[in-house]
Amino acid sequence: MPNATVPSPGNAQHHYPAQQTPPTVNFSVEAPDAKSVFLCGDFNDWDPEAHPMQHLPNGVWKIRMPLPPGEHHYWYLVDDKPTLDPGAEKMNNDLLHHKVSVVRV
């Protein structure tokens, strides 16, 4: 683990762990006719408006998200309709037995 060294009076040194930045995950979905796409998941309490995705000219929507290590459940909200990620590592059922996409960080 990286450390930052902070000098203190009397030339003594104390070591503190450096702040670690979570890895960034790229999410993308092809939805050329969609008017809006949001990323919803356990990392944002399934908030349908927390993470709007950027629409690219080729019809793909994308977003980069910092996520802590672990397994995360998500789906895309395409024009207000939950949509699984066809490129997800795997699919699973959440605690309410909804089908969700899964990414491991």
Query: Which amino acid appears at position 14 of this protein?
Result: H
Domains of the chain, CATH where assigned: 21-104 (2.60.40.10)
What pLDDT score was predicted for residue 12?
47
CA distance 40 to 79: 13
Read off φ and ψ for residue 3, nearest 5 degrees: -125, 150
Write down the pTM of the prediction.
Answer: 0.76
Note the pLDDT of residue 90: 87
Greater model confidence, 14 or 98: 98
pLDDT in tens, 78-87: 999 999 998 8
